[in-house]
Amino acid sequence: MKFGGLEKITLIDYPGKIACMVYTIGCNFRCPYCHNPELVDETVVDTISERKVLEFLDGRRAMLDAVVVTGGEPTMHGEALLCFLKKVKARGFLVKLDSNGTNPEILKRAIDGKLVDYVAMDIKSPMSKYAQVVARPVDVAAIRASIELLISSPVEYEFRTTVIKALCSPEDIDEIGREIRGARRYFLQKFVPTKLLNPQFLKKVTYSDAEFEAFRKKMNTYVTYCGIR
Ligand code: SF4
């Protein structure tokens, strides 16, 4: 595999762990608020080989607990991703995988093969609005299968939604709650307009703190824990 970036240390991307983060190239969605347009459009200039990433990890075994694999959409890399995860696990690291949930088969193989310790899956919108929000055709049955897989799995996981007023109404948040009912952890993420795939979204806003708090209370009726980021 080739990667589009390597963040040498992060204290916030794997709960409670010191991690590094690698970015896979390519995505099957085009979320307008995406912070990684060069990964999604596959225009990364300075790619990093898998060998370089593994060499970096070999030199950091004493310092890092975990590797976060994010993107882009990592599961698009299929067998190559599983092969990379095996090499990371063989070096003794915990692995967190970020995914948009479009490939439940690869997610299942990663979980069953004990190649991941934590999965963070985006819930972009209620199923009824998915294609509109991610600007691509979507197999919502696959998204649903990934949700069910994680809810019934022993692996640690979280669901999370980036909330933008223009894309996500209070009713949408409630519908998301019903669709992930029974989940252990869910995070409402405040939209922060920085570098975005669709620059027109730089002017979009999210809800107030008080509104987020009301959403959190409502979501806590569907999930065990709902946090705000
Ligand atoms: S936010 Fe995630 S799923 Fe959406 S386009 Fe960006 S990398 Fe893909």
Residue nearest to atom 1 of ligand 1 (CA): 34
Q: Verify whether ligand 1 is closer than 6 Å to residue 196 (CB atom).
A: no
Q: Which of 25, 73, 201 to mutate to test the pocket of ligand 1 (most atoms within 8 A of CB)?
A: 73
Our answer on whether the CB atom of 36 is closer than 6 Å to any ligand 1 atom is yes
Does position 23 have pLDDT exceeding 70, yes or no? yes
Section 177-202 average pLDDT: 88
Using most ligand atoms within 8 A of CB, pick from 38, 42, 100 the residue to mutate for ligand 1: 100
CA distances (Å), 208 to each of 69, 160, 165, 215, in order? 31, 18, 10, 11
Q: Which structural domain, as residue segments, surrounds residue 145? A: 2-228
98 Cα: distance to centroid of ligand 1 (angstroms): 10
Predicted pLDDT of residue 205: 86
pLDDT the model gives residue 159: 98
pLDDT tops 70 at residue 177: yes
- Cis status, amide bond into 4, omega within 30 of 0: no
Q: Is the pLDDT of residue 199 over 80?
A: no
Residue 59 CA to ligand 1 center (angstroms) comes to: 30
* 115 touches ligand 1 (CB under 6 Å): no
**Helix 78-90 × helix 104-112 angle, to 10°:** 20
Instruction: Give the per-residue SS3 of 95-156.
Output: EEEEECCCCHHHHHHHHHCCCCCEEEEECCCCHHHHHHHHCCCCCHHHHHHHHHHHHCCCCE
* Other C-beta atoms lying within 10 Å of the C-beta of residue 52: 13
Number of independent structural domains in the chain: 1
**Among 29, 75, 102, residue to substitute to test ligand 1 (most atoms within 8 Å of Cβ):** 29
Q: Which of 149, 213, 215 is nearest to 183 (CA)?
A: 149
Q: How confident is the model at residue 56 (pLDDT cuts 50, 70, 90)?
A: very high
Instruction: Check residue 197 and give its pLDDT.
Output: 74
Could you tell me the CATH number of the domain that includes residue 7?
Answer: 3.20.20.70
pLDDT, residue 195, reads 66
Token couple for 51: 């060998």
Closest Cα to atom 4 of ligand 1? 31
Distance CA 161, CA 34 (A): 12
Q: Is 66 exposed, middle or buried (0-12, 13-18, 19+ CB in 10 A)?
A: buried
User: Can you give the pLDDT at residue 119?
Assistant: 98
Q: How far is the CA of 196 from the centre of ligand 1 (A)?
A: 10
Assign 200 a pLDDT band (cuts: 50, 70, 90): confident
